[in-house]
Amino acid sequence: MTDRKIIIAGAGLGGLAAAGCLLKAGYDVDIYEQAPQLGEVGAGIQMSANAMHVLNYLGVGDEISERSVRPAAYVFRLHDTGELIDRFALSDEHLKMHKAPYNQAHRADLHQILANAVQKMKPGVVHLNKRATHFEESTDHVELFFDDGTSAKGDVLVGADGVKSVIRDQIAGAVPAVYTGDSAWRITIPKDKLPPDFMEEVMSVWMGPGKHAVSYWLRNGELFNFVGAVETPVASEESWTAKFPWEDLKADFVGWHEDIQTVIDLADHDQCFRWALYKRPVVDTWSTARATILGDAAHATLPYLAQGAAMAIEDGAVLSRALGQEDDTAEALKLYHRNRVERTSRVVETSDANRKLFHLDSVDEIRKAFASRNEGDDRNGWLYSYNPLTVELA
């Protein structure tokens, strides 16, 4: 029943990917975004094969790959000596095994490429300055209301409005945001500021007591991305754009490896951002008869598996297929939820487990944890081998 009209709240990566899949399937779609302009922050984002399948399907995979770095490997190191604890191949091996690449992209590039593609499919699809406040639904339509006093009607509403989702709060009841105890620094450094041959093109996790760091190259190796997740007793703002003093960043990583010192020392002192990481309980109810949620609105996660946006993108593809498979909208939304809840919950749980693993107190504990992890480990195979375009929906 592609004569359904779909309205989406939120033009983040999840909302845009869902819009692309739905437009491609023949639905009429409109997206309502609160911001006055489209965009994303200047940080890195990893896109594994499970999400790249959808981006390839939307015709943007090659452009994203051209503007990304394909890391040779996933590497786990000790925070101070840099000792290699574990390594598994990405690059050609990931492509061969999972039939799509593993990319390290710039968030703004990924968002812009996706937004351009969706706007090409339907010019005028994104409506800016539209902050959704609530919705009302009846037997034959759903209406989304905005803080400027206007509203929009459709057959189905998708809440892709992120961690602070108002659509989720209305569907599932307001869920408390609980501070995880961790804050994530983010900085980027242009290649020309770094020493020649600085760090190979791998995805590195540096593990230490009470904190860990992730570092990798972006944009064909033009930019280096550093995220430092630090146990921080006092909660601050849950925001990508909250700036903190460089001196605090430097102090958080005292005693860490010289490569980490180089990155921090060369950072622009006025461009050090810190995001306080909050958790929300996994939401049980995702849908009413005509409204549903996806991405962080449904299953916000710690970023310690680098899969939050990938899950949002997968959600959009599965939602589109579920609507195509079931004529009854309420049944389609149930089908979507049934097929997404287990996988997305596993990502949340694994990310929580990684917090413990990456922040262990001693080298021995880390070595032991990796040895036992590797015994039955499939190198995230369960995660990357999933294809949301072909997985059977039941």
Ligand X SMILES: Cc1cc2nc3c(=O)[nH]c(=O)nc-3n(C[C@H](O)[C@H](O)[C@H](O)COP(=O)(O)OP(=O)(O)OC[C@H]3O[C@@H](n4cnc5c(N)ncnc54)[C@H](O)[C@@H]3O)c2cc1C
Which residues are catalytic, by number?
Answer: 216
Helix 308-325 with 49-57: angle, nearest 10 deg? 50
Burial environment of residue 303 by CB neighbours within 10 A (0 to 12, 13 to 18, 19 or more): buried
Nearer to ligand X, 109 or 296 (CB): 296
Mapped onto helix, strand or coil, the DSSP state of residue 32 is strand
* Residue 71 near ligand X by CB under 6 A: no
* Residue 10 near ligand X by CB under 6 A: yes
What's the CA gap between 315 and 51, in Å, rounded?
Answer: 10
To ligand X, the closest distance from the beta carbon of 231 in angstroms equals 15
Nearer to ligand X, 77 or 186 (CB): 186
Q: Which of 304, 186, 303, 177 is nearest to 243 (CA)?
A: 186
What's the CA gap between 122 and 125, in Å, rounded?
Answer: 6
Nearer to ligand X, 15 or 208 (CB): 15
To ligand X, the closest distance from the beta carbon of 303 in angstroms equals 4
Which token pair is 16?
């845009």
Alpha carbons within 13 angstroms on the beta-carbon side of residue 170 total: 20
Residue type, 8: I
Which token pair is 270?
């006025």
Q: Which of 7, 8, 13, 213 binds ligand X (CB under 6 A)?
A: 13
Nearer to ligand X, 198 or 240 (CB): 240
* Residue 142 near ligand X by CB under 6 A: no
* Residue 15 near ligand X by CB under 6 A: yes
Which token pair is 88?
């598994």
Kindly give the pairing relationship between strand 291-293 and strand 156-159.
parallel
Kindly report the number of other CB atoms within 10 A of residue 265's CB atom. Answer: 11
Q: Which of 6, 8, 11, 110 binds ligand X (CB under 6 A)?
A: 11
Residue type, 81: T
Nearer to ligand X, 70 or 367 (CB): 70
* Residue 252 near ligand X by CB under 6 A: no
Q: Which of 131, 153, 346, 379 binds ligand X (CB under 6 A)?
A: 131
Q: Which of 5, 24, 34, 334 binds ligand X (CB under 6 A)?
A: 34
Q: Which of 8, 58, 100, 166 binds ligand X (CB under 6 A)?
A: 166
To ligand X, the closest distance from the beta carbon of 164 in angstroms equals 6
Phi and psi at 371, nearest 5°, equal -65, -45
Helix 363-375 with 329-358: angle, nearest 10 deg? 140
* Residue 216 near ligand X by CB under 6 A: no
To ligand X, the closest distance from the beta carbon of 61 in angstroms equals 15
**# residues near ligand X by CB under 6 A:** 34
Stretch that binds ligand X, among 89-97, 130-138, 283-291, 329-337 (CB under 6 A): 130-138
Q: Which of residues 261-320 bind ligand X (CB under 6 A)?
A: 275, 295-297, 303, 306-310, 312
Helical residues (DSSP H) of 246-289, grouped into ranges: 246-252, 258-265
Q: Which of 125, 187, 227, 357 binds ligand X (CB under 6 A)?
A: 227
Kindly give the pairing relationship between strand 73-78 and strand 203-208.
parallel
Phi and psi at 36, nearest 5°, equal -75, -20
Q: Which of 132, 187, 357, 366 binds ligand X (CB under 6 A)?
A: 132
Q: Which of 46, 103, 225, 232 binds ligand X (CB under 6 A)?
A: 46
Residues engaged in binding ligand X (CB under 6 A): 9-15, 32-35, 45-46, 130-132, 160-162, 166, 184, 186, 227, 275, 295-297, 303, 306-310, 312
